[in-house]
Structure 1
Amino acid sequence: MIKQPRIRRIKISNFRGLASTDWIPGDRMNLLIGGGDSGKSTLLHAIALIFSPTNSAQVFETDYFNRSLDHGFEIEATVSLPPEVELANFQQTLWPWEWNGNSAILPDRERDDANSDPVCVFRVRGTADLELVWEVVQPNMEVVGLSTSLRRKVGVVRLANDDRNDRDLRLVPGSALDRLLSKGNLKSRISAQVGSVEVSNAFTGDETKALKNLDKILKNAGLPHNLDIGLTSSQGLSIGALVGLLAEKDGTLLPVASWGAGTRRMAALQVAGAIEAATRLTVIDEIERGLEPYRLRQLLDALGSDHQQCFLTTHSPIVIAAAKDAALWYMDGGGQIGRLHPDKIGRQQNRDPETFLSKVPIIAEGVTEVGFLRALFHTVFREREYVHGIRISDGGGNESMLGLLEALRSAGINGAGFCDDEGRFPERWRKLKDASGPKLFQWPAGCLEENVIAHVPDDKLLSLAYDPDGSGGDRLRTLADRLSLPGKEETEILAAAGSSAALRALIIAAATGDKRGAPDDRSAKEWSKHSQRWFKSIGGGAELCEKMIALGLWSKIEPDLLPFINAIRSAVGMSALAPGELRFDG
C-alpha cells in the first residue's frame, strides 16, 4: 500500500505551449530534460495547478494554447491516494477507478480487493471565460467538484525557477508551513492577535488630531465612524499570509524568505518533509538553482531516499550524473516525453552527462574519434562546436554506443553517431541508419586510422610517427618491435619493411594496436598497447585530423565525410557545403 500520493498518468490539452501531452511518469523521482521552451516548466505548473490549494488561482489568455480561448484547456491526472487521505470523510462520495498499468478502467467487481489498484481521476479546466473549474471524474462518467480541502490534503510543494519560492515558508492557504502548523483555528487566532495590535500608539499629536477630524467628517456624512488604525487584510491577502518563518542570523531574527534562493528551497523542502507522509508530492523547476554542487547532491539524496514521487527539471550535468536512481525523461519541442532507459544510458550518464543536454549530441566510438571530430568541426565552423550546441562524446566502444544511440532515438533526442562498421548487429545498425540518415556515419570498411593512413603518400608515411613536438621515438619503437629490430632508425625500419605497402600496413597495425602475428603472449599484450603511443587519445585524434589536413588528404576523404558534416550543419540550422567548398588554409 502506497504511503504518498502517486500521479499514475497526466494528460494535458491546449495548456500554454502544450497542445497535447500524455505521460505515465515513474513512481519515484522523475527528472525532465529538454531544450528551452520545450514545456518542462509548463508541465510542472500543470501538476501544481490541478492540486492548487485555493480557488483564487488566476489564468490569462497566454495560458491557452496559441491564445485560443474557444476550446479552453484541460489538465487531467490519474492519481493513487494513500488511506491517510481518508476519502470517505469528504462531503461528496468519490468512487475509485482501477489502474491497469496504462490507464484508469472500470473496477472489476469480481477482483479480490487486495489485488486491485484504485485510482481517482482529477481534472482542472480553463474555460473560455478565463475561469478555472476543478472536477473529479467518476467511473460512471459523472463529474463532481474537486474540493479545495481534498486538493490541500494531497498538497503539492512547488519550487519554481523564479523568486516566489517563499510561499511554503509562510502561512498562506495550502502551503507546507500551513499544512504543518495549522491545526484547529491557528490562522484565525494569529489574525486576532495581530489585528489587536495598537498601531495608533505610534501616532504623533498631529496624526491623532487628523484622525479625529476625519472621524467627525465621516460621522456627519452618516458613514462609519469611531475610527482607529489597525492591521487589515485585503482581497487575496490575509493577515495570516504575512506570518512566516523567522530564523536567527548574526543575532537578528530575519524572515527565512529573505535568505538566498538555495537556502529557501532547502528550507521549504525540510518543512514539507516534516508533514505527514500522505501529503508529500514535490515539483521543483531547475533544481540546481541557487545550490552549490555539494548541497545539490544532498538534496537529490534526500529526495531519492524518501518514498515520495517528485518531478524535477534541470539543465545541469551535475544533476544528471548524481540522480542515478531517477527516471530520466526527454521532452521534445512538441510536448512529447520519452524515457531514457537506464540500462542503455547508465555509463554515459556517469561518464559524460552533458551528452543529454546538448542540441545535437554526436556519439563517437572512442577517444580517437572524439579528438578527430573536435578538430575537424573547429575547422568546419571556424569556432568551437559547442557554440552551436554540439556535444561530441565518447560512446565507449562500438556496441556500447549502439545501445546509447538507440536510447537517444527512442526518447526523441536528435543524436548523431561516428564509428566503424565492425559487422556486428547489422539489423540494429540498419534501423538506426534508416532513422538517422547521414547523421549516423560508419566507414565503409576499416576504422578511422586505416581510412586516413590509407591515403598518405608513400614518401610521407614515416612523418606520421612524429607528434607535433617533433618526437617520434616511441612510435618508431613500436614499428621496430614489430619488425624485431634492436634499433629504431628510419633507415632500418624502411629496409626491414621492404616496401611502402608493407610499411603502411605496419603503421596501421601499430596505430590500431593489432596484435596478430605477435610471437608470444607477452608480445601480444605489448603490441595491443602500441595504439596508445599513436592516436588512441583525444589529443591523438586531433593530431590525426591535423595530419590529414597538412598532408593534403582531405580531397580523398571528403566524399565519405561531407554528407555527415552537412547533416550536422543542417541540424544546427546552417546551410550545406558543396564539394570542395571546405577550405583548410587557415
Structure 2
Amino acid sequence: MNLILGGGDVGKTTILDAVGLLLSASNAATISEADYWRRENTDEFSIEGIVSLPLSVDPNNFSVQLMPWDWNGADAVMPGDPQDGDVPEAKHPVYRLRVRGTADLELVWEIIQPDESTIALSAAFRKKIGLIRLSADDRNDRDLRLVFGSALDRLLADPAIKARIAKKVAEQDFSGAVGDAGVKALEALDQRLKAASLPSGVKLGLTSSQGLSIGALIGLLADRDGVALPMTSWGAGTRRMAALEIAASTQADNSVTVIDEVERGLEPYRLRQLIGILKSTFGQSFVTTHSPIAIQCSAHADLWYLDAAGAIGGLNREKIAPQQQRDPETFLAKLAVIAEGPTEIGFLRRLLRLAFKGDPLDCGVRVCNGQGNAQMLALLEAIGMTGLKFAALADDEGVQGGRWGVVKAAMGARLLRWEGGCTEEAVLRHLPEERLQEFLKDAEGGSNGERLRTLADRLGLEDKSLPAIEAKLVALKSSLRALIIEAATGKPDGSPEGKRNDWKAHGRAWFKSIAGGDELAGYALADDVWPKLEGSVLPLLNAILTSVDRPAVEHLNHV
C-alpha cells in the first residue's frame, strides 16, 4: 500500500491519473492539450511503470517474444550474463510499460524491451493486470455497472454477455406501454414512411448509439425494504465499499488499486475497515488521503510525501512510526514545523501568530510535537533523506552533534537548534535580574506556591518563602537565575536519593506545557529580551513564511 500525502494542488491526484492511464483497460481514454506540460502538445508526454506480471498473465501469449528486465531492488536493469546458453536470464523479471501522449493528441501504449525496442501493449493485456480505480468525484459507480473493464465485467468474465442481453432486450415488445394516441401516431407515421418509400413497419424498441453501450445501462440492484434499488443510488461510501468487494472476488491479489481521497463518504470506523481490506486483500494500491485516521491506521503502508515544489520522497517507516501514530496530521500540513516538546509548541505558536498576523494554520503551517530530542532527530533525518521541506525548533542536549550537523546543513534556516542549551535557558539567561521574581507570581499577583516549592525542594528547605530561598542562595553563593533554570528544565543532577523523578517533574510547574511555552514566549518578546534573541529566532520565522509563499519580515511586530 502506497499512501501519497501532501498539501493541496501539489499533484497527488495527477500521480493516480498517471497510473490509471497507464493501466487503463480501455482504448477509449481521451486526452486534450490541457494534459500536456504547459498545454504544449507539440512535445509528447510519457508515463512509464515497471511491473511484475501476476501468474495469471502469460508473457508468452504475445506474437513477439516478450523479454523481461531484471529488478535490482531500485530499478529495472539489463539482465546479467547467463551461466549457460546465449540468452540472459532475469533473476527477478519485470516489464517496462509505457503510454505516450503524441503531438496529435493520441495515446499509444507500449512495452519497452531491454534492447529499447517496443511492442504494442493491448487493452486485453492491460485488462488482465486488473486496475481497480475509485476516483474522488461522483463517478465511482463505474465498477458497479457492466462497462468494459469494470470490476463487475471482470467478475462475470463473459465477453458475450452484453450481446446476449442486447438481443434479449431487442426482442421485447414495447407497444403495450404505448397509449391509444401513441399507437395511432405510430400508424400514421408508418403510412407516411411507406408512401415516401422509406423503411416502414416501425415500432418502439431499445436501440444503442455511438458512445452508449448496453453495458452502461446494466448494473447491480440490491434490496432495500423489499424494493430493488440500483447500487448506484446508495451513498458514496457504500458504493466504494461495494466496488472493492466486487473487485476482491476477482483478481484482488494481482490487481493494482488506485483510490483518490480514500476517506470520502466513510465514517471513521468504515474507513478503518477499508484500510484493513486494502491491506489484507488487494495486491498493490496507490491511495491519497486528507484524513489523519487513514494515516494512523496505515502503519503497514509506505508513505510518500509530495511537496509544493513537486518533489516526491519516501518516508522511512521505522523512523516516522511514532509520529505517524501520535500526530498523523504532521504529514498533512503544507509545512509541518516540528517542535521538540510542549514548551516549544507553545513558544512557536505565539511567535508564528505574530509573524503571520493571524493563525498560521490558515496558511497550512502546523506546529507538531516531535516527542523529544532523540525521536525528533530520527524524524528529521527521515524527512531530510527525501529532500522535502519541514521546519524545526530543537534543544542542544550535547549529544549526537554530528547527526544534528548533517540535518542542519540540509535544512538551513528552517532548523533552529539552540546553542548549548534549551528554549527555557535561551530566554531566562537574557532576562534582567530584577525581573526574575515575576516568574514567582501568579496571574493575580500573589505568590506562585508551586514554583516556590520546586525552588525550596532543590535547596532542601521546608520554608518556601522567597526571603528564605534568597537567604539560602546567599549562603551557597549561588544565584536565583541558576536555580530557576534548573527547576524550569527539570534538571535532576544533585537530587537526594529517591527524589530524582520528583526533580525531573519540576519543569511541569514552569514551562513544560503548551501554556508554559506561550508564557515563555511572552517574556522573550519583552523589549529588554527580544533584541538578544531576534538574530536567532527571526531567520527561522522568515524561513517558515517564505516556505508557504508569504513575505519575510524585517522585524517582528510584538506590540
| Structure 2 length-normalised TM | 0.93
Q: Which residue of 1 aligns with 2:502?
A: 526
1:230-269 map, 5 Å: 230-269=205-244
CA gap 1:143/1:536 in 2 versus in 1, 3 angstroms:
same
CA–CA separation in structure 2 for the residues paired with 1:238 and 1:253: 23
Cα deviation per residue 1:434-483 (whole Å; 9 max; x = unaligned)?
22222111222321111211122323222212343656111101111111
Q: Which residue of 1 aligns with 2:511?
A: 535
SS state at 1:498 partner: helix
CA–CA separation in structure 1 for the residues paired with 2:76 and 2:456: 72
CA contact (8 A) 1:80 1:119 kept: yes
CA–CA separation in structure 1 for the residues paired with 2:80 and 2:527: 75
The answer to whether residue 451 in structure 2 is matched with residue 475 in structure 1 is yes
Q: Which residue of 2 aligns with 1:67?
A: 39
Q: CA deviation at 1:359?
A: 1.7
Q: CA deviation at 1:92?
A: 5.1
The answer to whether residue 246 in structure 2 is matched with residue 271 in structure 1 is yes
The answer to whether residue 432 in structure 2 is matched with residue 464 in structure 1 is no
Q: Which residue of 1 aligns with 2:70?
A: 98
Q: Which residue of 2 aligns with 1:583?
A: 557
Q: Which residue of 2 aligns with 1:10?
A: none
Moved more, 67-76 or 319-328: 67-76
Q: Which residue of 2 aligns with 1:490?
A: 466
CA–CA separation in structure 1 for the residues paired with 2:78 and 2:419: 56
SS state at 2:541 partner: helix
Q: Which residue of 2 aligns with 1:448?
A: 423
Q: CA deviation at 1:175?
A: 0.3
Q: Which residue of 2 aligns with 1:227?
A: 202
CA contact (8 A) 1:169 1:257 kept: yes
CA contact (8 A) 1:456 1:551 kept: no
CA contact (8 A) 1:262 1:289 kept: yes
**Alignment counterpart, residue 393 of structure 2, candidates 396, 400, 418:** 418
Q: CA deviation at 1:103?
A: 3.1
1:28-427 map, 5 Å: 29-89=1-61, 93-108=65-80, 110=82, 116-183=91-158, 185-277=160-252, 279-306=254-281, 308-427=283-402
Q: CA deviation at 1:78?
A: 1.9
CA gap 1:583/1:539 in 2 versus in 1, 3 angstroms:
same
Q: CA deviation at 1:279?
A: 4.4
Q: CA deviation at 1:549?
A: 3.9
CA gap 1:278/1:357 in 2 versus in 1, 3 angstroms:
closer
CA gap 1:208/1:307 in 2 versus in 1, 3 angstroms:
closer
Q: Which stretches in structure 2 are left out of the alignment for 5+ residues?
A: none
Moved more, 427-436 or 43-52: 427-436
The answer to whether residue 492 in structure 2 is matched with residue 515 in structure 1 is yes
CA gap 1:387/1:194 in 2 versus in 1, 3 angstroms:
same
**Alignment counterpart, residue 574 of structure 1, candidates 545, 550, 556:** 550
CA–CA separation in structure 1 for the residues paired with 2:159 and 2:149: 14
Moved more, 507-516 or 215-224: 215-224
Q: CA deviation at 1:115?
A: 7.5
SS state at 1:411 partner: coil
> Which amino acid in the other structure matches residue 488 of structure 2?
A
CA gap 1:146/1:527 in 2 versus in 1, 3 angstroms:
same
CA contact (8 A) 1:44 1:283 kept: yes
Moved more, 466-475 or 235-244: 466-475
CA contact (8 A) 2:248 2:281 kept: no
Cα deviation per residue 1:233-265 (whole Å; 9 max; x = unaligned)?
221221122100111223221111121111111
CA–CA separation in structure 2 for the residues paired with 1:111 and 1:196: 65
Q: CA deviation at 1:204?
A: 1.5
Q: CA deviation at 1:109?
A: 6.5
Q: CA deviation at 1:427?
A: 2.6
Q: CA deviation at 1:326?
A: 0.3
Cα deviation per residue 1:190-222 (whole Å; 9 max; x = unaligned)?
222222222222111221222222223333333
> Which amino acid in the other structure matches residue 258 of structure 1?
S
